[in-house]
Chain A
Amino acid sequence: MAVLVVAAHDGKTVRSNVANAVTAASQMDPDVHVLVAGSNAGEAAKSAAAIQSVAKVLQAEDTAYANWVAEDVAPLVVKLAPGYSHVVMAADSVGKNLAPRVAALLDVAQVSEAIKVVSPDTFVRPIYAGNAMATVQTADKIKVVTIRPTNFKAAAGGGGAPIEQIGGTGAGGLAAYVGAELSKSERPELTSAKIVVSGGRGLASGENFKMLEALADKLGAGLGASRAAVDAGYVPNDYQVGQTGKVVAPDLYIAIGISGAIQHLAGMKDSKTIVAINKDEEAPIFQVADYGIVGDLFQIVPELTAAVEKK
């Protein structure tokens, strides 16, 4: 039986992590369908159809789906699910909100944040902030799985799957979207950036994050932060990297003024190369860093920014 990937999108294109979810899904079953639910989601459906190894795109048009209200999208997924062996979503804020609602309505368990598909019913997932890896097997007929995008290569583009229009399920009236306060940034999105510059409590103020912005802009990097920096109000919540924030695995992660609590390491320790800049040479961040510099970040970061410019 086929796998249904539920794709989040912005109305124009599906999120980049849908291509990662398609790769994960194709390891469960080669017949991968993608559901694009929305209001005027035609362009987004086309972007899903262009992902290689997608066999079919289902486009469900309904004004109720315009803002991804889980209470309204879940009934659609539940209606389609009996035709599939798996329902797969990326473990982002949309998938985390929606997938458990779908699973409970289907009376099945959910496998959260799978990082590896061992077989169609067996998955590896991190527990305890990634300090242990559990291999779990599900006996449920329909398997609801969220996947961690950074652990699956994005499927290539250039495909041309057919798009089938399907009907909507309407609005249940339980919940309404009011609006969003999104961080505006020209920088690459944190979870897909090749380089991430991240700051912690050592920055001492939100003002000082400007220093990291300068470095990030030179490197074409995304900007992240530790929980401590977010809690202190230096930067918005969507910057948070860690167990309960975002999980990133860039080619280069530069941790600046971050001590390296296990909850933070959970969100970045799969990065290819890790650099740590911290004045405390005992800071746990150095245990995972490939290259560490012990010293004053207020001196080192400007020096680094200037040196990168010379490239």
Chain B
Amino acid sequence: MKVLVAVKRVIDYNVKIRVKADNTGVETANVKMSMNPFDEIAVEEAIRMREKGLATEVIVFSAGPAQCQETIRTALAMGADRGVLVQSDAELQPLAVAKLMKAVVDKEQPGLVIVGKQAIDDDSNQTGQMLAALLGWSQGTFANKLHVVDGSAEVKREVDGGLENIKIKLPAVITTDLRLNEPRYASLPNIMKAKKKPIEVLTADALGVDITPRLKVLKVEEPPKRKSGIKVKTVAELIDKLRNEAGVI
């Protein structure tokens, strides 16, 4: 069984983002970019499946500008086998990415797709569920544990009240939550080896997918700032402030 994972190139999670002065978006020039952290978990899970003999090949998908090849290389250095990039400088929204992924899934016929539950830039939490819908597949979202057995997957999901167990038919789409695994670091020899692994570059046109954005971003603004507070010295002072100034206890 082939496993397809998707990786998104996003502003590194440690970077404090800046809203552009003209309110058209967030400044990305000269900003450190990395793989979306949830996608690292997806890559790790797929590699572990191959190491256990549950998967034969791990294919890494990405969509976006040419620099996404670097993100794919990171996944290849972790241990994935080959990459597919749908190269585009246009804005790609979740529905468009799901459609591009569907086209690649139709071609590659993986038995399982694993994606991060959410990208830390647009915080949409949509692509995996949308892909499952477009393929008519089952979905195991917010996975905390994944166990693949005989044509189905047992998924432990992180839900509002705790954990939920479901059993879904394969092929399926899994979206990763934080506790699924701890992604490995790529070793130097593996980074060198990854340079030789193939990355196929495709276009949306060649795949016959319409990627026109459906949502128009009218403006992007800074959130309202909280007024800075005060430090109190004692618990008695804190209680007094909470009771008499804030009126919350």
Contacts and interface: CB of A to CB of B under 8 A. Distances in A.
A288 B226 CA distance: 6
B162 A238 contact: yes
B228 interface: yes
A67 to B, nearest CB: 8
Contact of A246 (B157, B160, B215): B160
Chain A CB within 10 Å — which of B228, B229, B239, B243 has the most?
Answer: B229
B29 interface: no
B236 A71 contact: no
Contacts of A97: 129, 139, 141-142
Contact of A181 (B124, B162, B222, B248): B162
B232 A291 contact: yes
B32 interface: no
B40 interface: no
B130 A129 contact: no
Interface string A107-124: 111111100000000100
A96 B94 CA distance: 14
B156 to A, nearest CB: 8
Nearest to A185: B161
Interface residues of A, number: 88
A80 interface: no
Interface string B142-180: 101000000000100111111111111100000001110
A129 B123 CA distance: 7
A65 to B, nearest CB: 15
B42 to A, nearest CB: 14
B98 A104 contact: yes
A294 B126 CA distance: 41
A292 B93 CA distance: 41
A108 B98 CA distance: 12
Contact of B118 (A191, A230, A244, A303): A244
Interface in A74-109: 74, 92-94, 96-105, 107-109
B235 A273 contact: no
A237 B144 contact: yes
Contacts of B217: 134-136
Contacts of A128: 11, 17, 26, 120-121, 123
B232 A129 contact: no
Contact of B242 (A177, A180, A291): A291
Contacts of A27: none
Contacts of B220: 127, 132-135
Nearest to A273: B246
Interface in A118-174: 122, 126-140, 173-174
Chain B CB within 10 Å — which of A122, A129, A244 has the most?
Answer: A244
Contacts of A70: 129, 139, 141
B218 A122 contact: yes
A182 B162 contact: yes
B88 interface: no
Contact of A100 (B121, B126, B216): B126
B123 A181 contact: no
Given A100-B126, A132-B222, A180 B229 contact: no
B204 to A, nearest CB: 16
Interface in A58-76: 69-71, 74
B122 interface: yes
Given A101-B132, A104-B134, A252-B248, A92 B160 contact: yes
Given A103-B126, A195-B248, A231 B178 contact: yes
A109 B221 contact: no
A218 to B, nearest CB: 10
Nearest to B139: A70
A112 B118 CA distance: 11
Nearest to A246: B160
Given A139-B214, A238-B159, A269 B226 contact: yes
B249 A219 contact: yes
Contacts of A50: none
Contacts of B232: 291-293
A1 interface: no
B160 A180 contact: no
A180 B167 contact: no
B124 A112 contact: yes
Nearest to A303: B235
Interface of A: 69-71, 74, 92-94, 96-105, 107-113, 122, 126-140, 173-183, 191, 195, 219, 227, 230-231, 236-238, 243-244, 246, 251-252, 262-263, 269, 272-275, 281, 286-294, 300, 303-304, 307-308, 311
Interface of B: 11, 13, 16-17, 19, 26, 38, 93-95, 98, 117-118, 120-134, 137-142, 144, 154, 157-169, 177-179, 214-223, 226-236, 238-239, 241-243, 246, 248-249
**The 8 residue pairs across chains A and B that have the minimum distance between CB atoms:** A109-B214, A100-B129, A104-B130, A104-B133, A290-B229, A100-B126, A174-B138, A178-B165
20 contacts: A98-B129, A99-B129, A100-B94, A100-B130, A103-B126, A109-B215, A122-B218, A131-B16, A132-B19, A139-B216, A176-B166, A195-B249, A230-B179, A238-B161, A263-B13, A290-B227, A291-B241, A291-B242, A292-B232, A303-B235
